[in-house]
Structure 1
């Protein structure tokens, strides 16, 4: 699931970007969720994750540039795409690490060209994302959203932060190669995200979602050292 936010004080522009995004990602067979906001103030009150943000620069109240500065200061790391009537305005975008911009009026061919570039970046950049293929449907999941991975009868179950479980067919060995160093295979059926480990006791890993994961005896010693190393690195 890709979470998209559109922030523009002109509703017809916001609705057009929404339709273009829905059409584009539908053709890619990728699930998306779109949230719309009419002001920077409203967007800044939103406390859920945003993967792609379309943000109008010229708005009443807090303008798009100031909104972007506030978001980045709050450690927002998603893709930021400015919407503007003046191409020259985008030169200010470097300080807030904007990925791209859309100049009004926004036509479908122009929008799709921008989105193809963004979609390729999301798939190919060395970012912490997992591309899950389930039939004809693709789903991009951030590593940060995965608490642990479980395999049952050749099926992978990704247990996510918001309580959702995504399942698909794959081998756990294949999954291991796609994940980064925050994940550890503590058991032949489990890979856990060390970022969400709450405690470890008597061969059981206690996760932040109150689930317990077994740590095999063969891996317990390595698990302890890996956890200590990971915690030290995070404090650096």
Structure 2
């Protein structure tokens, strides 16, 4: 029996893949449903489809609860491409696949980090071939993303985009390349979630993504345009972690 290792929980059980479909055509939505029905039976996957007829309803209800988005480009109102751009403001890493009648949109899709595009009417053979790649990305996202609950809703982003985490009183500030996200919590809790090989404290207030360190000068670490102090008690361990990270990536 063949199982595709796309999405598992912490103890290795297969969990449901949650999929949103932006599609106003009954005919095309029926073909998507049939394709998923066949694919799930062939590869023993559990999934849940949620349909949206227009972009406004998807954007209103979207809060990073889906693993995968199928977006029809030609929908009434805001098209699928513009919808994807809006979604990327909330979620940097959710996997997006475009549905279109025209292959010319394939290049444009890369602007929003789309995983792939599928031509309509959907053909099961080509669908199945592309889904192996797409669901591999879903699996990677499951391991490499954080979902943060804030007062404004949920935010999901790639760990790779995280520069550092700051604690200020009881406020946690996630410094990303494009924005800062604030929530409540403790730095210790974040430290337990993030990979230890990649993150290290330079002092009690900052947990640094070693990938983004550009320079060390005296007791200061440079991350992009930011400069963070390295405390005396943390310096030896921080420098060891940085050396091990650099060495591991060179070997």
* TM-score normalised by structure 1 residue count: 0.55
Mapped to 2, the partners of 1:120 and 1:111 lie a distance apart of 14
**Structure 1 residue 51 and structure 2 residue 51: aligned?**
no
Matching residue of 2:19:
4
Change (3 A) 1:54 1:2: same
How has the CA–CA distance of structure 1 residues 76 and 38 changed in structure 2, closer, same or farther, with 3 Å as cutoff? Answer: farther
Where 1:87 maps in the other structure, the secondary structure is coil
1:233 counterpart (187, 208, 223):
208
> Which deviations, in whole Å up to 9, do the C-alpha atoms of 1:132-168 show, x marking residues without a partner?
xxxxxxxxxx76469xxxxxxxxxxxxxxxxxxxxxx
Structure 1 residues 180-215: Cα deviation after superposition (integer angstroms, max 9, x where no partner)? xxxxxxxxxxxxxxx999459xxxx9x79xxxxxxx
Q: Which residue of 2 aligns with 1:89?
A: 105
Provide closer, same or farther for how the CA distance between residues 128 and 57 of structure 1 changes in structure 2, counting only shifts above 3 A.
closer
- Among residues 98, 112, 118, which one is paired with 1:102 in the alignment? 118
Q: Distance in 2 between matches of 1:96 and 1:21?
A: 24
Where does 1:39-78 land on structure 2 (aligned, <5 Å)? 39-48=54-63, 49-78=65-94
Distance, in Å, in 1 between the alignment partners of 2:101 and 2:204 is: 50
Q: String of CA shifts for 1:33-78, please: whole Å, max 9, x gaps.
A: 1100001111101134111111011111111111111111223421
| 1:172-211 map, 5 Å | 198-199=185-186
SS state at 1:9 partner: coil
> Closer, same or farther in 2 for the Cα pair 1:57/1:227, shift >3 Å?
same
Report if the CA contact (8 A) 1:11-1:38 is conserved: no
Deviation at 1:27, TM superposition (A): 2.4
Task: In structure 1, list runs of 5 or more residues that go unmatched.
Answer: 131-141, 147-194, 209-224
Distance 1:70 1:197, change over 3 A: closer
In the other structure, the counterpart of 1:22 is 37
Q: Indicate how the Cα distance of structure 1 residues 12 and 95 shifts in structure 2: closer, same or farther if over 3 A, else same.
A: same
**How many equivalent residue pairs?**
159
Q: CA distance change for structure 1 residues 2 and 92 in 2, over 3 Å: closer, same or farther?
A: same
Deviation at 1:4, TM superposition (A): 0.5
Say whether the 8 Å CA contact 1:39–1:61 is kept in structure 2: yes
**1:36: which partner in 2?**
51
Asked if structure 2 preserves the Cα contact closer than 8 Å seen for 1:84 and 1:102, the reply is yes
Quote the residue 1:161 is aligned against: none
Q: CA deviation at 1:17?
A: 0.7
